Structure 1
Amino acid sequence: MYLHRTALLMIIGFYLAGPLLLDWWLQPDARWYRPFLIWLILIALSWLIDMRRGHQDV
C-alpha cells in the first residue's frame, strides 16, 4: 500500500504535537466548542488536501 507524503507528514506531526494538543483540548476552563472547532479544522484540511490532489487516483 502506498502511503502519501502528506499522510506521513500528518502522522509525524500528530505524534510530535499530540501531547500538547491533548492538554490544550482538555483544559477545564476551555470553551464548550473547542473540540468541535478542532474537528472542523481537521475535516477542512482533509477536504483541501483531497481537492488539491484531484481525482487521478480513482
Structure 2
Amino acid sequence: MKASVDEDRCRGHAVCCTVCPDVFDLGDDGYAVVRLADIPTGLEAAVRDAAAGCPERAITTEG
C-alpha cells in the first residue's frame, strides 16, 4: 500500500499524525507528509483510518 497527501487540500489539522504517527508527520511548513514510501501491512488499517478521518480528505491510498 502507498499513501499520499494532496498538498493543496491539506490544512495541517494533524488528525493523520494522531491516528497513525508511524506513517504521517507534519513537515516544516506545518502540513502533513508521508514518512514511509511503502506502508507495512500492520499499519494499513491505521492509514485507512487516518485517510477517513482527514477533515479535508487530503489523503489518498492505493494498493
Q: Of Structure 1 and Structure 2, which has the larger fraction of its residues in strand?
A: 2
Give the TM-score band, short-chain normalised.
0.3 to 0.5
When Rg is computed on C-alpha atoms for both structures, the one with the higher figure is: 1
